[in-house]
Amino acid sequence: MTNSAAVLADAAAYAAAVEEASRAAAAYYATGESTLDDDAYDRLARGIAAYEAAHPDEIHESSPTGKVAGGAAVGDVPHTVPMLSLDNVFSAEQFVTWTASLERRIGRPVAAWSVEPKLDGLAVAARYRAGRLEQLITRGDGTAGEDVSHAAAAVVGLPERLDAPVTLEVRGEILMTNEQFEQGNAIRTEHGGTPFANPRNGAAGTLRAKDRAYRVETTFFAYGALPLAGSGEITETLTELPHSELLAYVAGLGVHTAAATEVAPVRVSTVGEVQARVEEIAALRAALPFGIDGIVIKADLAADQREAGSGTRAPRWAIAHKLPAVEKITRLLSVEWNVGRTGIIAPRAVLEPVEIDGSTVGYATLHNPADITRRDLRLGDQVMVYKAGDIIPRIEAPVAHLRTGDETPIAFPESCPQCGSEIDMSEQRWRCTRGRNCRLVASVSYAAGRDQLDIEGLGATRVVQLVDAGLVTDFADLFTLERDQLLALDRMGETSTDNLLAAIETARSRPLSRVFCALGVRGTGRSMSRRIARYFATMDHIVAADAESLQRVDGIGKEKAAAVVEELAELAPLIEKLVRAGVTMTEPGATPPPEPGTEEQEGAGAGAELPLAGMKVVVTGAMTGALEKLSRNQMNELIERAGGKSSSSVSARTSLLVAGEKAGSKRTKAEGLGIRIADPEEFAELLADFLTGEGTAVAETGETGLAGEAAAAVAVAEAVVEVAAVAEVVGEAEVVAVAEVVAVAEAEAGRDAGETEVVQAVQA
Ligand SMILES: NC(=O)c1ccc[n+]([C@@H]2O[C@H](COP(=O)([O-])OP(=O)(O)OC[C@H]3O[C@@H](n4cnc5c(N)ncnc54)[C@H](O)[C@@H]3O)[C@@H](O)[C@H]2O)c1
Ligand SMILES: [Zn+2]
């Protein structure tokens, strides 16, 4: 993975590798149009370095090893102080080793560290004279760079005039935010140009472009400053301030830094604190509005930096903790059109499988037809694919300079691929004109699923029967089914009919969170439904909520809030029907939110005295004792009823890990991070009040959990929970479709769906 190297068997392989790397680096630093993705380049570079270590007398003079920009970049404007690269570490252990060698070198402990994002763009130096931007220069080969002053006006965050008439050089990174990348590509394709493959290439290309007919913006983030001849009295400030204060000084002049972002630089004093911030930034990466490829850790004090000094390629007082590459180049093989539960027809890219960040990616989301057109994607294209954290893989853009001419246009469907009806193309997201009815069987099966209404005995085959017989046109119809109607169906004897009716009867009193989840509103899976139900307490309050009040629910942003409001309006008749059928419309133990105007106390009120208030809890391993019969979903319900937030992955922000038998990597990770760990017995004791008494909904449904299943089954359940979590993050129709497949597979196979079935479903 991150550390692997290309294997170079002999001198010829070495020579070829040096040539390929030089060619790639030259293209990369000139226009961003390399034939290799970064992971492939880094593998090659490590292979070259390994060969050179073993054959020191064969080193080729054009080797990229040990050179800034691999020796491939050019420039004719000399730098006053070299602009260097950074050395890398890939783990906490390597970082500790590095700090030890740095401290040996300076002969004392490093007084303080600055921990900041490693912005994924390109380094520039901006020279200001008497407060005016005079010249913008690229890093080049480190000793001299190119003058790109012509591009400065379209760089956000790099003011033409500073807030004080000072003379200095500000150094930092120019990148494209995700939004600038989307906009930039849209403008380019509108002008008949080819899209940039990723934001970094976009920034590199834009900086060098001279006579474009259109304007593309980039963003500057400062991470350093130094004096120039003529800096006068601020010379000392610039050379003596600790790095953290230098950044604050530069920001005070009106230059943009990362200070206002979630990954703002922090100053800490211990290696443990550095590591915690590294973990935090790594966890935030996927959701950031711009790309980072690591975390930079710097000795904060000027004296520490001075005494450590610099090598020819990199300073000795700073290090990059690299994060795994999250982009790869692969081929777009075809596009599938899937119809979601709400009738939305969503395209999905089928890719030549490629490994990214430890998992194999074979599909990527494509949003809608307009998106395909805007991205100028073609079948057979080499595409840049991005995947980080739990985020669904997405295609950033085609790698246009790798086109062969054999690529073909992507065909859009003319009728609904599911039922053949007409398509409503009036919105960007295409939709089957039959709407929800197009996927009636899937919607009803989903609603009856284990984590929604949990209606035992209602598998997909049964649902098909009911739909075909015209007995069910939505899942509310389940509650008015009559005994004779069921008996008239094939293979429905007295016993199964009575059992099914009893199961439906039980479902009528499921808590609001499950009823709401059963509605299948896009982007509201299990845990989001619980949060919504707990916040609003009644269906009336949910239905009456506007986008603004929905945003008060943890995890609901502006876009999702608007989408939920819109979908709920559509679902009003169905909800009305459920109310008439006597289905529960309240959440036990929850109280409705305060009326507008009194909302300041929100958050402080009810939740504050709960045992898990404000805590982020992760569950792993097999539960025992009082918790034995609870499925993962039920455990999460329990956590949220007790005021906590449930999560499926351990990070520095986790407050508690409940670790049962066979707990594996999550436990190790929590131990490493010093997170509190409880066994199921302790946890059950802590939440005793919620297991009996008030928390009856949990106890009641406990019988249908993974009773006595092996730890393996628990792991599968976790995988399924993760699918649901992903669906909540992105809210894409096709992800919901995956969750649906799981639900249907589970329903079909019966409650005892074995590991293999579920795994197959997840993979499908
Ligand atoms: N795809 C290709 O063909 C190809 C070719 C050459 C290089 N590359 C990629 O380029 C990378 C190596 O490039 P590099 O030499 O610029 O080194 P680097 O990007 O690994 O690290 C040094 C750079 O980090 C940047 N940086 C970002 N945030 C910073 C911060 N807060 N403080 C200080 N510096 C910060 C600066 O621009 C600095 O020059 C590798 O990851 C490699 O994959 C790719
Ligand atoms: Zn249809």
In the 3-class helix/strand/coil scheme, how is 293-326 assigned residue by residue? EEEEEEECCHHHHHHHCECCCCECCEEEEECCCC
Best mutation site among 44, 122, 173 for ligand 1 pocket (most ligand atoms within 8 Å of CB) = 173
Does residue 628 or residue 381 have the better pLDDT?
Answer: 381
Please enumerate in sequence order all residues whose Cβ is within 8 A of that of 486, keeping only pairs 6 or more positions apart, or say none: 492, 497, 500, 501
**Binding-site residues, ligand 1, Cβ < 6 A:** 24-25, 28, 34, 36-38, 41-42, 69-70, 85-86, 116, 118-119, 123, 139, 173, 223, 296, 320
Distance of CA 45 to the CA centre of its chain: 28
Instruction: Name the closest-CA residue to atom 5, ligand 1.
Output: 25
Q: pLDDT tens, 173-228? A: 999 999 999 999 999 988 988 899 999 999 999 998 988 899 999 999 999 999 99
Architecture of domain 77-322: 2-Layer Sandwich (3.30)
**Residue pLDDT, tens place only, 318-354:** 999 999 999 999 999 999 999 987 789 999 999 999 9
Choice between 742 and 654, residue whose per-residue pLDDT is larger: 654
Alpha carbons 340 and 446: distance in angstroms, whole number: 12
* β-pair partners for 298: 114, 318
Q: How far apart are CA 171 and CA 193, in angstroms?
A: 31
CATH among 2.40.50.140, 3.40.50.12780, 2.160.10.10, 3.40.50.920 for 327-401+413-431: 2.40.50.140
pLDDT tens digit string along 701-746? 332 332 222 323 333 333 343 343 333 333 333 333 444 444 433 3
For residue 180, the CA-to-ligand 2 centroid distance in Å is: 36
Decide if domain 435-507 falls under CATH 1.10.150.20: yes
Is the distance from CB of 475 to CB of 443 less than 8 angstroms? yes
426 versus 674: which is more confidently predicted?
426
Tokens encoding 64: 């990229």
Q: Are 465 and 490 in contact (CB under 8 A)?
A: yes
Tokens of 658: 């409940």
SS3 state of residue 14 = helix
Stated as kind and residue range, the H or E segment containing 431 is: strand 431-432
Which range, 407-421, 639-653, 689-703, is most confident?
Answer: 407-421
Cβ atoms of 610 and 638 within 8 Å: the answer is no
Three-state DSSP class for 758? helix
Ordered by start, the domain boundaries in the chain are 11-71, 77-322, 327-401+413-431, 435-507
**Ligand 1 closest atom vs CA 84:** 39
- Indicate if the pLDDT at residue 596 is higher than 70: no
Q: Is the pTM of this model over 0.80?
A: no
CA of 85 to the centre of ligand 1 (A): 7
- Right CATH number for 11-71 from 1.10.1330, 1.25.40, 2.40.128, 1.10.287? 1.10.287
* HEC sequence for 185-243: HHHHHHCCCCCCCCHHHHHHHHHHCCCCCCCCCEEEEEEEEECCCCCCCHHHHHHHCCH
d(CA 306, CA 102): 12
Is 86 within any annotated ligand binding site? yes
Q: Ligand 2 mean position to 239 CA, how many Å?
A: 67
The residues, ordered by sequence, that sit 6+ positions from 374 with a Cβ below 8 Å of its Cβ are: 185, 186, 189
Output the CA torsion sign for 303, 308, 311, 315.
negative
pLDDT tens-digit series, residues 663-688: 888 888 888 888 889 999 999 988 88
Question: Which SS3 state, helix, strand or coil, does residue 582 take?
Answer: coil
